[in-house]
Amino acid sequence: MTSERNRKLPLSPQQALVAAICNAIRQIPRGRVSTYGAIAKAAGYPRCARHVGRVLKQVDGLPWQRVSGSGGRISLRGEMAMEQRFLLEAEGVHFRGRRVNMKAFEHRFVRAGGKTPGTARKKRLPRK
DNA sequence: CATCTGACACTAT
DNA sequence: TATAGTGCCAGAT
């Protein structure tokens, strides 16, 4: 790596967001599926699920097919949905009607230092 | 600079 | 289960 470029890294917060999301998506193994919200959270940007979609379309080289909506629903429209479904099935992911069988194919993001699974409880912000 | 839209999620009905 | 309303943030017009 060109250490010259590593000097300062003027990465904008937005670029960091994209990089984080990109990284999270790349962590999804083949035959596995994740959701926008999960990726956003894993990237460190909860509630930014929308940005995940934007990154997927803008950034090339990402397994976009492994990303679906909440509950395994395909948020795509038209033929893109069929394409995603086709690709996922090709990877071994099974579908249940219009949704993905998340029960068996949802990928779990591992957090650095994540020990004692179960103790690691995610805090859900109470609204209202 | 203001407004709308979007590969979403969540809650309520 | 399906539909509607609301919140979120960035890009496009």
Residue A4: the pLDDT is 41
Q: Which residues touch strand C (CB under 7 A)?
A: A 13-14, 17, 47-51, 54
Contact A63, A107 (CB under 8 A): no
Is the CB of A69 less than 7 A from some atom of nucleic acid strand B?
A: yes
Residue A68: the pLDDT is 94
Measure the N-to-C terminal CA separation of chain A; round to a whole number of Å. Answer: 49
A62 CA to B9 C1' in angstroms comes to: 22
Residues forming beta bridges with residue A73, ordered by sequence position: A99
| Percent of chain A residues topping a pLDDT of 90 | 45
A6 CA to C5 C1' in angstroms comes to: 46
Residue A61 has pLDDT above 70, yes or no: yes
Residue A110: the pLDDT is 80
For the beta carbon of residue A65, count every other beta carbon within 10 angstroms: 22
A54 CA to B1 C1' in angstroms comes to: 24
